[in-house]
Amino acid sequence: MIFILMLIIFSDTAVKSAGSGLNLWFNVVFPSLFPFFVVSEILYKTGFIKAIGILLEPIMRPLFNVPAAAPLPLPWE
């Protein structure tokens, strides 16, 4: 209740902060994550993730107890 009351009292500050948050999202967060989302979807749709999962299953399951496709979000550099 106090939080809602403060949002009403300081509505100008809340609106400016929300605008700054959206600006940050569209100028920093979205451009940095968009390529990752696109490449991940392409790899998934082509079946690459399933194929590499089958190849890595004998290594990943005993060592880390995770499915073989689990490390694919990690950067490959």
CA 39, CA 50: separation in Å to the nearest integer?
15
How does pLDDT run along the chain (77 residues), one tens digit per residue? 999 999 899 999 999 999 999 999 999 999 999 998 898 889 888 988 888 888 888 888 888 888 777 766 655 53
Question: Per the structure block, which two tokens stand in for 26?
Answer: 């569209």
Provide the pLDDT for residue 55.
84
pTM value > 0.95: no
Count of other CB atoms within 10 angstroms of residue 70: 14
Asked if residue 49 lies in contact with residue 59, where contact means CB atoms within 8 angstroms, the answer is no
Which pLDDT score, from 0 to 100, does residue 77 have?
39
Give the DSSP letter string of 23-71: HHIIIIIHHHHHHHHHHHHHHHHHTHHHHHHHHHHHHHHHHHSS-TTTT
Confidence (pLDDT) at 57: 84
